[in-house]
Structure 1
Amino acid sequence: MDDQDGYFGERVAAGYDESSGEMFEPGVIGTTVDFLADLAGGGRALELGIGTGRVALPLARRAVRVHGIDLSRAMVARLRAKPGGDAIGVTIGDFATTRVDGTFSVVYLLYNTIMNLTTQAEQVACFRNAAAHLEPGGCFVIEVMIPELRKLPAGQNVVPFHVSPTRWAFDTYDVATQATSSNYVEVVDGRGEYRSIPFRYVWPSELDLMAQLAGLRLRERWDGWTGEAFTSESARHVSVWEKPAGRP
């Protein structure tokens, strides 16, 4: 792990956009930005884990004033290098606890990033931090996967998700602690390289309780950004919690 940038240091940042290519497809970004711009209205938006600006940049082009929080200077440097990136304010820090000035109409945390907080206490703190930044009536939005435990046969704790002659990738799960990790093995010039990134998976009902502890209430939950119904077969969810009007 990079001491300064956590698990998203220069090595990860350099290839992040390419490794997450499907999330940069215009259709994916367009529906995400439409959803968030509608919630923001004429107000400000705060992105927790702004990264390389995948969503922040097109959202800002929709005339939404966007600010971001991110621990990784290497990721933010990629944002800054893109057109319009220098116009977006970014605060370097842990998004579970870092505060910025002012309040926001919408705070959002996308693409499984809540799982980068590897303890329940940190995830609860994140909800409280989001709530503290919201104006009354504002919304906190999370996009996150449903834990893939149904893929685990009895006695197995590993789920592979990429296999090729030069690259292997797999997730590990500890169902007792909800700890998981994504692990990558790659052969480069005949030499093997390995890296591992830890996460903590979390269930929708657990997130709802975290929201309640932070003074938020569930407003809506969808299978995706275009309003598909969330069901027991959903692989992910987009959830929106609202700060009640009149709450400081």
Structure 2
Amino acid sequence: MSKVFSTRPLLVAAVAATAAAVLAVVNHNPAEAAVTLPPVHAGFDYQLDGPYTPPDGVQVVSRDRTAPPAAGLYNICYVNAFQVQPGEQDEWDPDLLLRDAQGNLVIDEDWGEPLLDIRPGKAERVAATVNGWIDGCADSGYQAIEPDNYDSFSRSKDLLTTADAKAFLTLLAEHAHQRGLAIGQKNTVELAGDREAIGLDFAVAEQCGEYDECGQYVDAFGDNVLVIEYTDEGLSTACAGYGDRLSIVRRDVDVSTPGSSGYVRKTC
């Protein structure tokens, strides 16, 4: 936002600063609370394997919903919204797990996670559980939500559609906004153009440097993009193209904690 000058500079400066930091989410419900977006081009750390003291210069941290937020920073709460987190299958109604025509669970083979059935008629029931987690994030002091596996439809044996995914994520976005939380699009660059209709505020993009996708996220979200790369080549590409605009970090694939043998964290 460009600066505006008038005979009331203090008032205008205050209004401009507030407008730059806060997004009023009125697309879905005028009664929803305003949400604060992550600061752009900020020090970022991705701490999904466990919380630890953020390195110097970090302003934004993403942590699992079971972890406490980092004091004094902008905190994003990671929620596995479209699939079942390992070890949590017994916590779900079996009827809400996606099954093929033979009754077998549809599994994300890379992570061993059953997909949730977000088709019409069940999406609202799945959302009731996930929105309960969102409530927990809000109550803990997080400022935003990162719902993972938006692209589960691509692993669903054609049982789920992009329409199912977008409708389900809209339910989560509406609830997050009602709780005063921003909500990010996790990956799934092919649907970035639908972000306003769904109510998404920023993006969390894994490997957009490696796969030459960062520009597509920027086209949809402007500079409100947080990038995680898992290779030095991906980091180099992301930093060369967007290091002066976006929040970018290189982590190890297991996003492990300091002291672990595989721990890696680098920035531009």
TM-score, normalised on structure 2?
0.32
Tell me which protein shows more strand as a share of its residues: 1
Higher relative contact order (CA 8 A, sep 6+): 2
Instruction: Give the number of the structure whose alpha-carbon radius of gyration is greater.
Output: 2
TM-score, with structure 1 as normaliser: 0.34
